[in-house]
Structure 1
Amino acid sequence: MIVETTPPPVRSATHRVTGPVRATGSADEWSDALRDALADPGQPRIVFQPIVDLRRGVIAGYEALARFGTAAAPSPDLWFAAAERAGVAARFEARVLRAALAARERLPPDCFLSVNVMPNLLTTTEVASVWADADLSRLVLEFNETVSAERTPELATTIQALRERGGRIAMDDVGSGYAGLRQIARVHPDLVKLDRELVARADGDQVRRTLTELVNVFARRLDAWVIAEGIERDEELAVLVGLGVPLGQGWYLGRPAQNWQRLDPAVARRIRLLAQRTGRGEGVGSLLEQVRIRVGDGRPPHRGTSASSAWWPDPPAQPHHPGGGVGAGRGAVVVVNRRHQPVALQLPVAPGAAAARRVPASMVARPDEHIVDVARRAMSRAPALRFDPVVVVTELGRPVGLVRIERLMLRLAEMSGGRPRPPEHDRPQPRGKAPEQAVELAATNRATAWAANRATDRVVVERAAARPSHGPAAGA
């Protein structure tokens, strides 16, 4: 959380607080307000704002927001800043985190719950007692980008412990500056919340749109999901869907409510229509093949780690294609670590091979990531890994299946040639080539030039990611 010298608009607050104290209240007024809030075990109360999938038009998760009292009051940053000065911030953070954990038990299926916490308070007695022995699955802890976990070894260890208990990490209020991008690279968050200053009026500002795409591309390369905050207009929604931002949050999509709010059907239809118009429907999830999932030591997966219970609706099972090659989904196993993130693939016996093989999970992708983008990343891997399957994961990194490179290349070829693909077992194979090798060779030859043309519009963004940036231009 950033301490503001002037309070931001109430609707843009992460925590929302109300009470008798004024924003310019005296130390005595703040002291009285803090004492009254701490004396009431029902404070703060929690409300929930939906986080929406900007491709499928469904709710992917919720953010837990804290509110105090019933009347308008100073900004949340000022409230928590006052609590920190008084030495009671940890008590408020513990209450919010405890309430979020209790609410998580009532979460709708296939959703996560995020909550904003101050990283420097995680190791305090009050806050640590809440999470130390808790199951944190389906919970996302949001840290502000200005707080560096890497500077404090103890805090870095704590973050690791949070992840080992099933929790996920989000970086909040990430802008386009070098410091924010560097923080993403160091912490490797599962989610990145885009600064609302980049979202507001993005439809009329090319600089904001370019910087938004830069952050989205950068986060995607590190296997993180971007959440665009502060979406309040249809024009902003259209821009973000067009740029491929996977998740969104804001009053246009849903206001905070005491219960789990549903997405307006008209808004859901609008999102799906926008995704279809911009070509974002060509997600790699359409090529998904479901697989078995096991924890690294061979035990069955922990509760909530199977593909059927991951936080993404189960895709339809894909048929097995004869001659599918070393990456065939049937019989493959995704090996996950104790954080339920993919670390290796156990692949079935390939034609002509003596035994099955185990390879690292060298690449993951989201179901909505465009097929062209996935192919480009896959082909940039080391030669020894280039044709290994891509693991498809949920918003929080849990595997739901894999995509064979053969199928990816064939789909690219279809998109390039505009002709339907005949069944693989009916297609003649060049002499002297194994089926999977022939598929890779033919599809790659047809798709490479087309995919290269699609890369042109991203050159400027990817080059910009290598240079320091300090946010939107003046007056943007």
Structure 2
Amino acid sequence: MSAGSIDPVLALVNEVRFAFQPLINVKTGAIVAVEALARPTGGDVHDLFREAARHRKLTELDIELARAAITAAADHETLLPLHLNIFGGTVTHDLPRLQLVLDRLREVGRREQEVTLEIGPPFARLDPVQLVEGVQSLKSDGFQIAVDGVGDGDVPLTLIADMEPGMVKLDRGVVSGLPDSAPRRAVLESVRHLCEAANADLVAEGVENDRQLSALRRTGVRLVQGNLLAPAARRPPTTITVPGVAAEVTDPSGQPVNTLAAGPRVTEFLSPATLLSVDATADKVRGVLADHPEISGVVLVDEHNRPQFTIDRNRFLLAVTGPYGHALHAKRPASRLADEPRMVTTATTAMEALSLVTRSDQYRMYDDAIVVDEAGRCLGAVRAGHLIRGMADLKVEEAAALNPLTRLPGSDAIARDVGRRIAAGDVFAVSWLDIDGFKSVNDSVGFSAGDDLIRTIGRVLTDAATSLTSVTVGHVGGDDFLLVADLDDLVPLSELLLDPEREAGGVRVTLSLATLVCTQSTVSTYDEVSRMLAPLKQDAKALTGSSWVMSRPGSEHVDVLRGKPQSQQPPPSFPGPATPPPGFAPGSGPPPPAGPGGSADPSAMHFPTEDPDPDLPQARSQAPRR
């Protein structure tokens, strides 16, 4: 490479070839976009950038590569949305030159709305205000924006929030550590929560094996990119075969895919829409459908990308290929053979969209639903078949996750609800309910009585979730239940559970309830909540009678709202030897270990006779009534 001028450096763009790697929705198996990746014929693309940087022409090279990628994609006549890589420094320091990218798009007949600019690092030395202003300018030009390299580079999370991208791409360095690395799992969870709060799609890059894909699906990631599903290729693919692991109803680990409590949003089934101008002729539409047999229809949009009509492939081709069809329609507007679009928003759930589909006229039952943003601009299409299969799979997952005794969902329902509340910034409480000495109940009165007791608790929890609207309940196995609720519902919930006297086969039974009050600033994942609840549950079980303890993350203060320490109870009366086994208390099971980190250390526990924490619900005598 010559070091004499930048012209030879830019000339090398002509020697760069492009490969195209798809972004795939693993829920539907659909390709949602393709990313153009520069592949120099000799050396590495980083060598090219280093040489350009040495000549202080890095932004020029960056823009020329983007223009060349547009041309390469046009040569293959792909209709899929296109992703182009752009440095953050190019947006910050050379924004006017990006007009050349717009010019090239117009030359090849592509819309800006079909192109996503992946803004990538380095960001450390950039003026964040100038970068955000540049991104807003690109959005106003019609471009979609993604932030690349998140999780393993110098991408500040506050910058992502300020840029408000439509997509965030998780770096392959994070994905490579899944599922074994706990820190990388935590990074994934944090980025996922950020994307939920920012209403941005999360894409995982560099998926190389089934275990990585399984971990991503368990976390709720639906958009992936990597060699496992489709390596980069010279020609943009139009369809792929998703490996069985991505198509399974249930993940190999047995854990259902994470979705919102109200069901997945329609955007989880989003596919690219084929857009044409509202004044396109029937002959133009026929040509597009003939050249691209994989597309199911066309959306006719106005100059602002707002859907005006939709064209179903089968009905349209029947009309234009029938007797005299070409002569009647070819040169006339295709809108004459179109239908009113069935539109939904990004906030629409898949179940709501499915209801819209099933309420349609019979002949439109399988037409696509069009997803639009707040301004009414087209974001893509959702195929009716994908919706039907997806919701059927979801119902199978939900049924498989129900406990056979109580018909309550498992911990996945709690995990989803906790994740949703954290993302929304809510203040909420997670409680662990346990039957004291349940093994001894089974041993003394039999499994049937134990099962009846579990069913009774399940019915009480079902009634509680019905009458207290903020409550979510789950049966995590055995005699363990998890509950999530707003703070206002904690006291009535505890009364429903702990007030009645309970028995199994004539044996009195008590319950232990441990509650952790959570906020977005104190917990970030469901795993954290689970770890913090474990020692709190031991504090509750160290008490006698039906008990309730409460605390906050990071606090050593444990409020005892029900129950008494074992030292305050008279010793039980045992047949046989006068002295009971050391540490035994009726109904409490084995005594918990002494010391911190899960012990029943009385010095850390605060009983109702002490000054209460004013922010927490108090003992029943002090608690407000609903």
Determine if the TM-score, normalized by the shorter chain, exceeds 0.5.
yes
Task: Quote the offset at 1:465 in angstroms.
Answer: 4.7
Amino acid at match of 2:99: A
Amino acid at match of 1:254: A
Q: Which residue is 1:57 aligned to? A: 29
Determine if the alignment matches structure 1 residue 84 to structure 2 residue 107.
no
Of residues 256, 264, 271, the one that matches 2:246 is 271
Contact 1:193 1:227 in 2 (8 A): yes
Of residues 64, 77, 86, the one that matches 1:95 is 64
Change in Cα spacing, 1:458 to 1:271, as seen in structure 2 (3 Å) is: farther
Q: Secondary structure at the match of 1:140?
A: strand
Separation in structure 2 between the aligned mates of residue 184 and residue 335 of structure 1, nearest angstrom: 20
Determine if the alignment matches structure 1 residue 48 to structure 2 residue 86.
no
Separation in structure 1 between the aligned mates of residue 516 and residue 237 of structure 2, nearest angstrom: 38
Q: Deviations over 1:25-44 (max 9, x none)?
A: xxxx4638975553366333
Q: Which residue is 2:171 aligned to? A: 195
Q: Secondary structure at the match of 2:256?
A: coil
Name which of structure 1's ranges 374-383 and 250-259 shifts more when overlaid on structure 2: 374-383
Separation in structure 2 between the aligned mates of residue 49 and residue 311 of structure 1, nearest angstrom: 28
Of residues 106, 113, 134, the one that matches 1:158 is 134
Q: Which residue is 2:436 aligned to? A: none
Of residues 438, 458, 468, the one that matches 1:445 is 468
Task: Quote the offset at 1:287 in angstroms.
Answer: 7.7
Of residues 280, 284, 305, the one that matches 2:257 is 280
Q: Which residue is 1:129 aligned to? A: 100
Alignment of 1:168-179 (within 5 A): 168-175=144-151
Determine if the alignment matches structure 1 residue 303 to structure 2 residue 305.
yes
Provide the alpha-carbon RMSD of the alignment: 4.9
Q: Secondary structure at the match of 1:450?
A: strand
Amino acid at match of 1:337: A
Determine if the alignment matches structure 1 residue 337 to structure 2 residue 337.
no
Change in Cα spacing, 1:188 to 1:334, as seen in structure 2 (3 Å) is: closer
Determine if the alignment matches structure 1 residue 242 to structure 2 residue 239.
no
Separation in structure 1 between the aligned mates of residue 200 and residue 228 of structure 2, nearest angstrom: 24
Q: Secondary structure at the match of 1:82?
A: helix
Separation in structure 2 between the aligned mates of residue 457 and residue 138 of structure 1, nearest angstrom: 46
Separation in structure 2 between the aligned mates of residue 164 and residue 67 of structure 1, nearest angstrom: 31
Q: Secondary structure at the match of 2:199?
A: coil
Task: Quote the offset at 1:262 in angstroms.
Answer: 4.9
Change in Cα spacing, 1:374 to 1:52, as seen in structure 2 (3 Å) is: farther
Q: Deviations over 1:158-189 (max 9, x none)?
A: 32121122212111111178963222122122
> As a proportion of its length, which structure holds more strand?
2
Task: Quote the offset at 1:305 in angstroms.
Answer: 5.0
Q: Secondary structure at the match of 1:48?
A: strand
Contact 1:52 1:249 in 2 (8 A): yes
Q: Percent identity?
A: 22
Change in Cα spacing, 1:282 to 1:212, as seen in structure 2 (3 Å) is: closer
Q: Secondary structure at the match of 2:100?
A: helix
Separation in structure 2 between the aligned mates of residue 288 and residue 141 of structure 1, nearest angstrom: 24
- The structure whose Rg is larger is 2
TM-score by length of 2: 0.44
Separation in structure 1 between the aligned mates of residue 85 and residue 189 of structure 2, nearest angstrom: 25
Change in Cα spacing, 1:162 to 1:240, as seen in structure 2 (3 Å) is: same
Task: Quote the offset at 1:45 in angstroms.
Answer: 2.4
Alignment of 1:359-374 (within 5 A): 373=416
Task: Quote the offset at 1:252 in angstroms.
Answer: 1.0
Task: Quote the offset at 1:79 in angstroms.
Answer: 2.4
Contact 2:124 2:154 in 1 (8 A): no
Amino acid at match of 2:61: F
Q: Deviations over 1:11-67 (max 9, x none)?
A: xxxxxxxxxxxxxxxxxx463897555336633322210111132232221111112
Determine if the alignment matches structure 1 residue 205 to structure 2 residue 207.
no
Amino acid at match of 1:44: V
Separation in structure 2 between the aligned mates of residue 273 and residue 34 of structure 1, nearest angstrom: 52
Change in Cα spacing, 1:271 to 1:204, as seen in structure 2 (3 Å) is: same
Aligned residues: 333
Structure 2: stretches of 5+ with no match in the other structure? 268-300, 309-340, 360-370, 380-390, 395-411, 427-457, 475-481, 486-514, 526-626
Q: Which residue is 2:544 aligned to? A: none
Q: Deviations over 1:70-120 (max 9, x none)?
A: x4x24x3342132122133333222222234445666756x4321111233
Separation in structure 1 between the aligned mates of residue 345 and residue 34 of structure 2, nearest angstrom: 12
Contact 1:202 1:208 in 2 (8 A): yes
Q: Which residue is 1:143 aligned to? A: 119
Change in Cα spacing, 1:335 to 1:177, as seen in structure 2 (3 Å) is: closer
Separation in structure 1 between the aligned mates of residue 425 and residue 200 of structure 2, nearest angstrom: 21
Q: Deviations over 1:262-319 (max 9, x none)?
A: 554252x421216565433866566869xxxxxxxxx97833657769999x954537
Contact 2:214 2:245 in 1 (8 A): no
Task: Quote the offset at 1:380 in angstroms.
Answer: 9.1
